[in-house]
Amino acid sequence: MIYGLSTIISRMLNFVLTPFFTSKFIPSVYGVFTSLFSYSSMVNAVLAFGMETTYFRYLQKVEGDKQRVFDSSFLVTLVTAALFLISIFTFTEPIAIWLNEGVNVQDYVEYVKYFGLILAADAIAVVPFAKLRAEGRPIKYGAIKLINVLVFIFANLFLLVWLPELMKGSEFIRSLCSGWFREGWLGNVFISNAIASILTLFLLLPQILSFRFKVDSKLVKDMLSYSFPILIANISFIINENLDKVLIPRLLPGEKGDYDTGIYGGVAKIAVFLNLFVTAFRLGAEPFFFSYSKNENARKTYAVIMEYFVIAMIMVMIGLCANLDWLKHFINEKYWSGLILVPMLLFNYVLLGIYMNLSVWYKLSDQTRYGLYISGIGAIITIILNFALIPHFSYFGAALSTTVTYLFMVGLSYFWGQQNYSIPYKNKKIGIYLIIGLAVSWAAYFGHFWIGNLLFLLFLGAVFYFEKESLLRILKRGGSK
């Protein structure tokens, strides 16, 4: 619960900055913010090298020598982070030119340096964070995660709001800031992130300093062999999530690319509320799936969980669409032209939630290679559709690409799952709920607040009417325990 809450609270605190950023920066500048953080997500997956999962797995395989496992896994991330940082500072200008095709090169040179520090620090922190979890220290783990986000928020407010105000009233402060501080500059956000990431490393020093340079080369080789498929799967999954935000500025001409990326990134923040629900479910459900797997009616239970998880996600989706009239104030009005995307983005998170739920079959049957196959095929579809649709339909094409990709991934996972680890899902019922939920969401969006919420209440009433007996049976069973 502590791990889950710390993760969700950290993400929610990060969302607090969305209204601030969208009011502070015009869409074209926020588009640069969105695309650079999307690039960083992909690079971060490479630098982490799947070592978190590998570390936990090898703690079980190499019993009685936890230190050797930590030393070997930490060395991998330390070396990759060091090589990355050297490369970034050696080729800063070519990378900056490539990122923005030679426009505003000096700004991008600074951005690249800050992201180099951020990504290297985050990569080095991966295994020490895993060590905290392995040692059963959730309070410290959660506290460091929260401190990271709070420092990021504080530094942003200081650099973008408080310091400019202080400069107005003090010649002394103006002289101190002369030569390094730029008011209203996007780079201040990246400076804030770098400060938070480096401070996190200092907080993890007790774990980092436990590292001993006594490395078992055979163990390192085995760990790299184990982690490589995880790395590829992680990269494929992140491509599905972030590639569109990277490609929009490259596939659309001039400033329109950055502008549309900003609109897309801004409205996507509203849809992320549903992603929080999916994340919370995953954090709670995955341990249950594993612990319950030996129960004789486990597969039927997984099917029931899927059924009511889908219903719950659709309720959230419709509720958000019905209340967009006030939720849209979460972002600045300059971004409202993209609100029509929200129902589609929410539906994409529903599909992602279904895929996460379906993935239980290859985890429980020790056939994780299928996760690599599915995410790899999904990444290929994402790349093809993004190049085909974005030049013609901009961010609408990007959102549609994600929808099609997730539908393929859900279909593949279901097809292979039923062959290898059959679970009796009620496909027809789930399909009907998905179609009705999507239709009602669009109707709620176009109907605005009162009509939208009336449709939402009617949907809730219909769910209660049709699911009443099943819900009462589940509640009665839970109460008897």
Identify whether residues 100 and 241 lie together within a single domain: no
Residue 279 domain flag: yes
pLDDT reported for residue 215: 76
Q: Are residues 236 and 209 in the same domain?
A: no
310 plus 423 within the same structural domain: yes
CB 286 within 8 A of CB 236: no
One domain for residues 351 and 247? yes
| 220 within domain boundaries | no
Q: Is residue 225 part of a domain?
A: no
Can you read off the two tokens belonging to residue 443?
């109707």
Query: Considering the domain boundaries, does residue 227 fall inside one?
Result: no
In the structure encoding, which two tokens stand for residue 473, read together? 């049976």
Between CA 207 and CA 218, with CA 213 as vertex, the angle to 5 degrees is 110
Domain match, 372 and 411 both = yes
Structural domain ending residue among the three candidates 215, 250, 268: 215
Residue 58 sits in the same domain as residue 165? yes
Q: Counting beta carbons within 10 angstroms of the beta carbon of residue 208, is it exposed (0 to 12), middle (13 to 18) or buried (19 or more)? A: middle
Same domain, 289 and 210: no
Q: Is residue 222 part of a domain?
A: no
In a shared domain, residues 121 and 53: yes
Long-range interactions of 159-168: CB distance < 8 A, separation 24+:
159/188, 159/191, 159/192, 160/20, 160/24, 160/184, 160/188, 160/189
For the stretch 128-137, pLDDT in tens is 998 988 888 8
Does 434 share its domain with 320? yes
229 in Cβ contact with 86 (< 8 Å): no
Find the largest Cα–Cα distance for the chain.
75
Q: What would the two tokens of residue 95 be?
A: 């990378």
Question: What DSSP state is assigned to residue 103?
Answer: S
Q: Answer for the pair 164, 183: CB distance below 8 angstroms, yes or no.
A: yes
- 248 vs 395: CA distance, rounded Å: 7
Residue 223 lies in a domain: no
User: Does this model's pTM top 0.75?
Assistant: yes
Domain membership of residue 108 as a residue range? 1-215
Same domain for 386 and 359: yes
Look at the chain and report how many structural domains it folds into.
Answer: 2
Buried-exposed string 416-429: b where 16+ CB fall within 10 A, e elsewhere: bbeeebebebeeee
d(CA 324, CA 451) in angstroms, rounded, equals 12
Tell me the pLDDT tens digit for each residue of 184-203. 999 999 999 999 999 999 99
Q: Which residues contact 55 (CB under 8 A, 6 or more apart)?
A: 69, 70, 73, 127, 130, 131, 134
| pLDDT confidence of residue 214 | 78
State residue 290's pLDDT score: 67
* Whether residues 411 and 291 fall in one domain: yes
| Residuewise pLDDT in 10s, the chain (481 residues) | 666 677 777 777 777 788 899 999 999 999 999 999 989 988 988 888 878 878 877 887 776 778 888 999 999 999 999 999 999 999 999 999 988 875 678 899 999 999 999 999 999 999 999 898 888 888 898 899 889 999 999 999 999 999 999 998 888 888 888 888 898 999 999 999 999 999 999 999 999 999 988 778 888 888 888 788 778 777 877 888 889 999 999 899 878 899 999 999 999 988 887 887 777 777 667 667 767 777 888 899 899 899 999 999 999 999 999 999 998 988 999 999 999 999 999 999 999 999 988 988 887 776 778 888 898 899 999 999 999 999 999 999 999 999 999 999 999 999 999 999 899 999 999 999 999 999 999 999 998 889 999 999 999 999 988 888 877 776 666 555 5
Q: What is the CA radius of gyration of the chain?
A: 24
Residue 147 lies in a domain: yes
pLDDT at 356: 86
pLDDT recorded at residue 126: 92
Classify 162 in phi/psi space as left (phi over 0), alpha (psi -120 to 50) or beta.
alpha
**Whether 253 and 351 share a structural domain:** yes
Q: Indicate whether 226 belongs to any domain.
A: no
